[in-house]
Structure 1
Amino acid sequence: MSRFVVTGTDTGIGKTVFAAALAGALGVPYWKPVQAGLDDETDSETVARLAQVPVVPEAYRLSVPASPHLAAAVDGLRIDPDQLMPPTGAVVIEGAGGALVPLSPDLLFADIFARWQIPVIVCARTSLGTINHSLLTIEALRARSVPIHGIAFLGDPMPDSEAIIPQIAGVPRLGRLPFLDQLGPESLAQAFAANFDLADFA
């Protein structure tokens, strides 16, 4: 059964697009536990459009596009970890921002990942700084005994970074999703199929 968590080394690196590609390739539902920011297309709406898979409603929909702990405070809420229970069955779950983004002053996304014990895929951009950010993310997950399925790169080719990070971290390189000039369901599915082996997600 395919159950994965998608996290990133930073915000705005394209992990929602990767999550859409993965969910679409596997033909499984998608879940974003906490959505912060509702003015533009939400991540769930993006995945529904790009992957055309069922989308599980968010546990929290917060109005401000900010770190979830701040967005929740602005809305007069405190995120309850007991409300963040993953759906049963096959699913692709996407966190918000990086692995150490706070949900509250005393709770990080990585803490939730540790509770779930669902294999995590780390999404890393290929631009400058990715080695440090990727290795720190992996160390933070390992410190909490979070199972790491592998690392997926996003962006233009950077062979050295794509080789040295998995080597040092001791995690599988799953592939690299390139930037797409025309992003749509067909182009995304084709790019994923051309750059990833679906057997690696079995």
Structure 2
Amino acid sequence: MKQAFFITGTDTGIGKTFVACQLIRQYVAQGYRVVGMKPIAAGCDLVDGQWVNEDVKLLMQASNVDAPLHWVNPYCFKAPIAPHIAAQQENIAIQLEVILQAYQALTELADIVVVEGAGGLLVPLHAELTIAELAAALNIPIIFVVGMRLGCINHALLSLEVMQARHLPIQGWVANPIDPAMQCYAENLATLQQHFKGIPQLQC
């Protein structure tokens, strides 16, 4: 079995890493060789002489494939800011080909590769590249995470329009309850279910 998934969502801090790790663990439990990948990470700590992002650490801990850090996370920026700004500050050009080569290398090591994006779909990586274009270049099924909080409907439906307009393959979506105090949770969820009709809602 060879499979891959691209995890994206409505925003940053809405549970993409949580969903990615849950997916990895589920496949590991079924006996597959699984590895997580986060092509671009911003906000890193120096660990044993290497800059490592917390999300990347979690992905690697969930994986059961020992892969080089530079394949799992080709671009790691120190400041926790938008990737294209972080890249400019460090005078680094994010290259799509570098990411695709790292992804291809991971597919040789694992049965399943779970790729986590940065922020939302239209986060720029440089002037001519967004997360959506990275997802299109990888051409793997998307799992879309909705961070359930006030404002999520707008973010989710705008993202859905982007995915549909660009013919990105949507495997499923997850409603992740990140705000325990969210009012009218059931009503918000029902609205999303109506608009995502025909796209499986996944449980993590």
Q: Report if TM-score (shorter chain) is over 0.5.
A: yes
Could you say which residue in structure 2 is the equivalent of 1:123?
A: 145
Asked whether the equivalents of residues 35 and 42 of structure 1 are also in contact (C-alpha less than 8 Å), the reply is: no
> More displaced, 151-160 or 26-35?
151-160
Looking at structure 2, the residues matched to 3 and 163 of structure 1 have their Cα atoms a distance apart, in angstroms, of 29
- Are the counterparts in 1 of residues 146 and 152 from structure 2 also a CA contact under 8 Å? yes
- Report the residue type matching 1:83 in the other structure: V
How far apart, CA to CA, are the structure 1 residues paired with 2:53 and 2:196? 34
Partner SS for 2:125: strand
Matched, 1:38 2:58: no
Any unmatched runs of 5+ in structure 1?
Answer: 176-191, 193-202
The one-letter code matched in structure 2 to 1:10 is D
2:165 and 2:63 map into 1 onto residues whose CA distance is 35
1:174 aligns to 2:202 (yes or no): yes
In 1, the alpha carbon distance for the partners of 2:164 and 2:136 equals 9
Contact 2:9 2:145 in 1 (8 A): yes
Aligned to 1:152: 174
**Structure 1 residue 166: deviation in Å?**
3.0
The one-letter amino acid of 1:140's match is: V
Tell me if 1:134 matches 2:146. Answer: no
> What is the CA-CA distance between 1:172 and the residue it aligns to?
1.8
Ranked by relative contact order (alpha carbons within 8 Å, sequence separation 6 or more), the top structure is 2
1:15 matched residue in structure 2? 16
Query: Pairwise CA RMSD of aligned residues?
Result: 1.8
- State TM-score, norm by structure 1: 0.80
Partner of 1:84, secondary structure, is helix
Specify the alignment match of 1:165 in structure 2: 192
Deviation, structure 1 residue 41: 5.0
Counterpart residue identity of residue 138, structure 2: W
- The structural deviation recorded for 1:81 is 0.8
SS in 1 for 2:202: strand
Judged with a 3 Å threshold, the aligned counterparts in structure 2 of structure 1 residues 74 and 153 are, in CA distance, closer, same or farther, namely same
In the alignment of these two chains, the number of paired residues is 175
